[in-house]
Structure 1
Amino acid sequence: MESMNAIRSEIKDHLLSSGYTLTSFGHLSGMNRGSLSAILHGSPPKPIAIRQLDIITETLGYPEGWFYHLYLDECFAGGKVSRRRLEPYLLRCAELGKRDCIDAAISRLLETAKPLALLFEIGEKLYHQGKIKESALFYEAVAEMEKDSHSERLAISHYRLFMAHQGPDAEQNWRAVIRFEPFRRRLPENYQLDAILKLANVCFTLHKWREVEKYADELRALAQAVYREQLQRKVREREPQVLGTERHLVVYYGQGYLLKTIALQKQELYDKAKKYVTGYADLSWFEDLNEIGWMEVKKFRLWAQANAYTLEMLTGNISILPEYCSFLLEHPGEILPGMLTIIESANKYGFYADDIIEQIFQVIYDFNEQDPIEVDRHFSLRYELAVYQFRKNQYAEGISSTLFALRLALILNNDWDVIQCITLFEAYRAYASEQHKSEYQYMMEELRNKEKNNPFSTRRFRIV
């Protein structure tokens, strides 16, 4: 009881120092005087709802969450957990970033019986409200304390943590993949489809092509199995099952083929890659396609066209270049990967395509530096462009493109990309202007500082 009175004593002291009576404060805050009296002077005192505490705080003119460090005892009064008070309290703490309060609450909760269900449910509420980072604290507690390694709750918690830790940092993303990967097949089927697709996409940004290929195979097999099950269920019950996935089932089926194509292409297994393009070129046979499903089918048809051109270019069929250029200009969404294909092919087979490159390059849009796939594509484009420009003895332009690529490599925190840019710059350092050297030096200092501030870094190189 004494601990419960701490928050009341604090509130009463603030009311007194501000010159409020219960009546005047009730009028100003909109709270009933009787309720205030029961909260502050009742015997036993009436519990304080988190909404009431927020009103009191706001009326007193203090920042949100001012009294939160004292509220926890309200949630554990009499040695019992009051879910009615604890849940809204934790949700508000997450909204306000009160990490210390959340840690204290989790610590107290873990001393009670069956705490994981509540922690998981709060994590789920925050996650579905779009508060991904805030939810991670609760999933971490579940992941650490769950004893059943095959628990569905544990697998979903690891999946949510995998999602929460995604960003432009390559090292962080790879650690998230390694941590989550063993739990992917313990998820419910609908979660598995989304999880495997996301694993493949993360590995795509990391250039882990064999892993992309592995997840593409898994995704294709699972999507085919779910599709067969859907058809059988439709025969039995005359209606398809509601899957509860983020995307239409056709997306997972098509992505299984698309990602396989790209993974093989990146390993220069072009003939094998061509065989998989047909797997997503025409998915109109897919049953139960709604409006969204048909839109996805059209996207896959377009991507199949684009990748067919890509594979022809990369195998040296330069004769299709004018046709490919027209295709890209008709489909602006394909310009970025298409531009990369053209310049990569030019470097690979030693030809020049200045007019086409200049024409298409002007259409390339700005990109979101928080989207790893976009950043990675722009990195590859700028790096290949630098190589192309050096081939043409356009040294100033090549140095500028190299530095642009290096900045993107630092955003991605990808060791190999950084090394490529450094070695390319050093090979042509003699042609760098003083401004170029200054910009390069600044980025090297930034890299050194990052190394110094991360003594446990797993980088395989050091800048001296």
Structure 2
Amino acid sequence: MGGLQEAMHRSLRSEIEKCRRKHGYTFSKLGELTGINPGSLSEILNGNPPRAITIGQLDVLAKVFGHDPGWLYELYTEECLSEQRISRPRLIPYLIRCVEVGRKDCIEAAVPLMLENPKNISILFALAEQLYEKGQLKESVPFYEYVIENEKDSYSNHFVMSQYRLFRVVLGTNAEENWENVIRFSPYRNRLPENYQLDALFQLARVCYALQKWNKSGEYGDELRLLAETVCIHEWERLKRNKKGEPLKTERHLVYYYGMGHLYKGAALEMQGLYEEAKQYVQVYADLGWFELLDENGRKDVERFKVWARANSYTLEVLSGNTSIIEEYADYLDILPTIEVLAGLNAIMKSANTYHFCVDDILERFASQIASFDQFTEAIGLDRHLRFRYQMAIYEFGKGRIERGIEETIYCLSLADLMNRHDETLTYIALFGWLGNMNNRIGNQNELGG
């Protein structure tokens, strides 16, 4: 019974005072060891009312007393939360430290108390944003989820921004989860401020492309290029009229979003076999030097789009059946990064399978790059790699190289499993049909020979 009473009467200050007496420290000595003013220590422990203690001061005391980080955190909520008010300057640093030292129990105890007043949702959002900005993306997720679950107004900035942040944070390589993420977030994209909406549309087009949702990727590409054009016009008009105010802050230069809108629209058309229509969009981002308000980053983007446009022009020509430029295309791929080589070889292999020509020399030429395709771990790279292996399997079976064809097919199955694209498994298993066809041909030839 005595132990229960003692536990019920534990408080932050009583525990600190107990440790001070146990170690025999005077306020002067404790002040010397912690760097906290002795007078402040006295006011913290004995003041009436006592002086508030910061989470930083509690951490220093824990270190001096020989305790692990997170000591007495379960009692610190009394410094931040009371029936009368919440101390935001103490609460946010406290919850951030709870995240850092793994005191999830303290967070789960504090949040319900906060949410007794709906106005405190803004504190949870501010906390999530701090974690996000510090690069602690996974750690920010529970706080954005708290906002979404408890904010009643689905048009509020806190709610919509939390949806957007979650969409960005939880994107991974799992195709099924990424598609669910798109479905969950997409209804809120147009409620975002324009600067965030630009990036949201870019990410939606990008993710849908990786998921082979060509129509959706093209639709988001359309939305992105139209929004980028509208924003650009407003910015240009604002500057021409010498209007005051901050320029629109975007994650990337406006020319990037404008170009990407056209790029994804063109890429989506390409994947649907609409090569002539796709060429029209490639022509737009082939030369964006006319774009106003270009700074150094913007000019770099313009140069990147020139490279992508040239590569994609080759791609469309090859896919359209223009095999005369294969060697020229290969020469150009030689100077590009490996991810672009992968995209180019995809097009060459697809064309070779469609128009039945040999590209063994090109495969040998790029053998080292092909061997390094496993380095890609993001959705776009994995999708390109999977599509490349699929074309390789068709090509090898078509050349009668059964063992290689089987290896490529198994490669497809392993990549599809890695990306959780199990709905495509039958497509790759169907490749083994080449074996049956070949066996039938061999059997027929034997019968004729006999």
Aligned partner letter, 1:371: E
Change (3 A) 1:20 1:404: farther
Give SS of 1:237's match.
Answer: coil
Equivalent position of 1:400 in the other structure = 407
Q: Structure 1 length as normaliser, TM-score?
A: 0.85
1:388 aligned residue (383, 395, 400): 395
Compare 396-405 and 197-206 and name the one that shifted more.
Answer: 396-405
Check the 8 A contact 1:233/1:241 in 2, yes or no: no
The structural deviation recorded for 1:415 is 2.3
Aligned partner letter, 1:85: R
Q: What CA distance in whole angstroms lies between the structure 1 residues aligned with 2:67 and 2:429? A: 52
Kindly provide the CA deviation profile for residues 41-64 of structure 1, in whole angstroms up to 9, marking residues without a partner as x. 434332221001111222233332
Q: What CA distance in whole angstroms lies between the structure 1 residues aligned with 2:291 and 2:243? A: 17
Equivalent position of 1:46 in the other structure = 51
Q: Does 1:204 align with 2:209?
A: yes
Equivalent position of 2:192 in the other structure = 187
Q: What CA distance in whole angstroms lies between the structure 2 residues aligned with 1:26 and 1:232? A: 61
Check the 8 A contact 1:217/1:260 in 2, yes or no: yes
Equivalent position of 2:162 in the other structure = 157
Q: Does 1:416 align with 2:397?
A: no
Q: What CA distance in whole angstroms lies between the structure 1 residues aligned with 2:119 and 2:351? A: 60
1:209-224 pair list within 5 angstroms: 209-224=214-229
The structural deviation recorded for 1:18 is 5.7
Equivalent position of 2:255 in the other structure = 250
1:72-151 pair list within 5 angstroms: 72-77=77-82, 79-112=84-117, 114-151=119-156
Equivalent position of 1:437 in the other structure = none
Kindly provide the CA deviation profile for residues 140-198 of structure 1, in whole angstroms up to 9, marking residues without a partner as x. 12212222222222211111111121111112111111111111111111111111101
Q: What CA distance in whole angstroms lies between the structure 2 residues aligned with 1:420 and 1:29? A: 66
Equivalent position of 2:363 in the other structure = 357
Q: What CA distance in whole angstroms lies between the structure 2 residues aligned with 1:212 and 1:34? A: 64
Change (3 A) 1:174 1:187: same
Check the 8 A contact 2:342/2:373 in 1, yes or no: no
Check the 8 A contact 1:3/1:73 in 2, yes or no: no
Aligned partner letter, 2:343: P
Change (3 A) 1:244 1:173: same
Equivalent position of 1:56 in the other structure = 61
The structural deviation recorded for 1:240 is 9.3
The structural deviation recorded for 1:202 is 1.0
Aligned partner letter, 2:366: I
Equivalent position of 1:445 in the other structure = none
Equivalent position of 1:228 in the other structure = 233
Check the 8 A contact 2:397/2:434 in 1, yes or no: no
Check the 8 A contact 1:230/1:241 in 2, yes or no: no
2:348 aligned residue (327, 342, 347): 342
Q: Does 1:371 align with 2:378?
A: yes
Aligned partner letter, 1:99: K
CA RMSD of aligned residues (A): 2.6
Q: Does 1:328 align with 2:327?
A: no
Equivalent position of 1:31 in the other structure = 36
Q: What CA distance in whole angstroms lies between the structure 1 residues aligned with 2:256 and 2:106? A: 42
Percentage identity across paired residues of the two chains: 46
Compare 301-310 and 229-238 and name the one that shifted more.
Answer: 229-238
Aligned partner letter, 1:319: S
The structural deviation recorded for 1:308 is 1.0
Larger Rg: 2
Aligned partner letter, 2:337: P
Kindly provide the CA deviation profile for residues 186-227 of structure 1, in whole angstroms up to 9, marking residues without a partner as x. 111111111110111111111111110110110111111111
The structural deviation recorded for 1:366 is 5.1
The structural deviation recorded for 1:113 is 5.3
The structural deviation recorded for 1:24 is 4.7
Gapped runs of 5+ residues in structure 2?
A: 1-6, 439-450
The structural deviation recorded for 1:138 is 1.9
Equivalent position of 2:446 in the other structure = none
Change (3 A) 1:397 1:4: farther
Aligned partner letter, 1:149: S
Aligned partner letter, 1:223: A
Equivalent position of 1:166 in the other structure = 171
Equivalent position of 2:447 in the other structure = none
Kindly provide the CA deviation profile for residues 404-423 of structure 1, in whole angstroms up to 9, marking residues without a partner as x. 33332222112234443444
Q: What CA distance in whole angstroms lies between the structure 2 residues aligned with 1:9 and 1:418? A: 63
Q: What CA distance in whole angstroms lies between the structure 2 residues aligned with 1:426 and 1:25? A: 79
Q: What CA distance in whole angstroms lies between the structure 1 residues aligned with 2:426 and 2:25? A: 66
Aligned residues: 429
Check the 8 A contact 1:167/1:370 in 2, yes or no: no
Check the 8 A contact 1:139/1:161 in 2, yes or no: yes
Give SS of 1:79's match.
Answer: coil
Check the 8 A contact 1:47/1:74 in 2, yes or no: yes
Aligned partner letter, 1:9: S
Q: What CA distance in whole angstroms lies between the structure 2 residues aligned with 1:62 and 1:428? A: 67
The structural deviation recorded for 1:274 is 1.6
Kindly provide the CA deviation profile for residues 269-319 of structure 1, in whole angstroms up to 9, marking residues without a partner as x. 122112221111111111121121111111111111111111111122111
The structural deviation recorded for 1:81 is 0.6
Q: What CA distance in whole angstroms lies between the structure 1 residues aligned with 2:149 and 2:187? A: 15
Check the 8 A contact 2:373/2:385 in 1, yes or no: no
Give SS of 2:289's match.
Answer: coil
Kindly provide the CA deviation profile for residues 371-426 of structure 1, in whole angstroms up to 9, marking residues without a partner as x. 11112212222222222222223333333333333332222112234443444468
Kindly provide the CA deviation profile for residues 415-446 of structure 1, in whole angstroms up to 9, marking residues without a partner as x. 234443444468769x9xxxxxxxxxxxxxxx
Q: What CA distance in whole angstroms lies between the structure 1 residues aligned with 2:115 and 2:67? A: 31
